Amino acid sequence: MQYLRVARRALQEGRLSWLASTAAKTVLVPISQRVGKPLAGPLMGILIPTYRCNNACFMCDLPKPQFYKTRGDREFNTAELKNVIDDMAAIGVAGLTLTGGEATIRSDCFELLAHARQRGLHVHLNTNGYNLLTSPGRVDELLESDLDAMNISLDGATAETHNRLRNAVLGFERIAKATEEILARRGSGRPAVTYTFVLGPDNCREVPDFVRLARDRGINSVSFIPLSGCYSGAAAHTSEGLRAMDDAVAWIREEKTRAADSEFIDNSDAYLSLFPRAFRSVPSPLRCYVGYHNVMVDCYGNVYPCALHYELHRPMGSIRDKPLREVWHSDSYEQGRRELTSCTDCYWNCHTEINLLYQSAPVALA
């Protein structure tokens, strides 16, 4: 649904060349996989300006900054990260997401967002919302960057649940205040604001209240991600937990059909149908196209095709060694793409929703 909103917005703003180019890239993704080489640049670029974070979410297994510090690595500075953005624009990335870690920990986060917008990219921010009010003018900086959309992680309808799951003192309260300020001061509906909810056994019973809370606050949409077994330290869910999570998914799917604003729940029904498999750590039934529609560069110059790849596989290359264009078209990247075609490890929303475009919608696990 979010992709449809992006397309409608581009149409309304008269960005017809961007829309046509993005549509062409979308069509070329499965053809590229068939011929064994990228026929266009990626649809989506992901930039990780830092792995540092001020939350400690139980399901997060992102690399810790100390891992790189012990090797003598350093985070890219502002100019170097702007060069990464320039390189992404040059290879034809349609949209760029800044994520982390927590991207807003960096004082130049909004400067980077503004730079990406100036390069003509659709710009998106993933944030835990914790830093948006840490100093006067912070929301102004966010809005002045002119980003298109942002996801704020909110994992409960109550402060007790969210703050506990994210190990974030007053995290729930900070998100409420930041949301209020952003919505009150944004112009022309930009940025669109989405609450992202990682659905697991500890918060699944709060799903209806979470959706009502989000509607009451006036944000644009909510999005759900299943708590699956693809993160390190994952444990099998109890039968009681599985039933409760399945019930929550059934409620979400029914709510999408009966609500007047069905697009408020951002997930497609095909994606929601996969959640029971994810809860049970059943391999994804989808053929993966991520190597052709996505590229990710982290703050140390490592290049990966997807968010899961750094945990399970080697980098495809480093922009410290060669330009991003050369990495994207390298033999090592192509070998990685072929290997990823059969990867069934993750149910990440950003990758899964695009993969679903290229295959028949799966049937929910009974």
Q: Which of 170, 140, 138, 172 is nearest to 155 (CA)?
A: 172
What SS3 class is residue 154? coil
Q: What are the pLDDT tens digits along the chain (366 aa)?
A: 566 677 777 777 777 787 888 888 889 999 999 998 999 999 999 999 998 988 888 777 665 666 666 566 889 999 999 999 999 999 999 999 999 889 999 999 999 999 999 999 999 999 999 988 878 889 999 999 999 999 999 999 999 999 999 999 999 999 999 999 999 999 878 899 999 999 999 999 999 999 999 999 999 999 999 998 665 556 788 999 999 999 999 999 999 998 778 789 999 999 999 999 999 999 999 999 999 999 999 999 999 988 765 555 678 899 999 999 999 999 989 988 888 888 888 898 888 999 998 875 444 443
Tokens of 113: 């967002």
Let me know: does 287 contact 358? Beta carbons within 8 Å: yes
Let me know: does 141 contact 132? Beta carbons within 8 Å: no
Question: What kind and span of H or E run contains 254?
Answer: helix 239-258
Q: Hunting for tokens 């390298």 — which residue is that?
A: 330
DSSP letter, residue 71: T
Enumerate residues 6+ apart whose C-beta is below 8 A from 47.
81, 84, 85, 88, 96, 97, 98, 99, 112, 296, 297
Is the Cα dihedral 251, 284, 225, 264 positive or negative? Answer: negative
- The whole model's pTM is what? 0.91
How buried is residue 175: exposed, middle or buried, by Cβ count under 10 Å (0-12/13-18/19+)? buried
